[in-house]
Amino acid sequence: MTTVNVADRKPVSEMSDELCGVYTEIKVIYLIYCSGNLQIRE
């Protein structure tokens, strides 16, 4: 069981890295979208 837990740690860390990357992309897209809306309003 211990070896399985150790083997499972790598995919979990990779998944968290992917989630952080997706979150960052969404944040950047949201900022671009908001800045675009501000330019349209002016």
- Residue 3: pLDDT over 60: no
Compute the distance between CA of residue 31 and CA of residue 41 in angstroms, rounded to an integer. Answer: 15
Compute the distance between CA of residue 20 and CA of residue 6 in angstroms, rounded to an integer. Answer: 22
* pLDDT (average), residues 4-15: 66
> Quick one: pLDDT at residue 26?
94
Write down the residue that tokens 């969404």 correspond to: 26
CA distances to 14, 31, 39, 42 from 26, in Å:
18, 9, 20, 25
Structure pTM? 0.49
- Residue 25: pLDDT over 90: yes
Q: Parse the chain into domains and list their residue ranges.
A: 6-39
> Quick one: pLDDT at residue 28?
93
Alpha-helical runs (H) found in the chain: 2-41
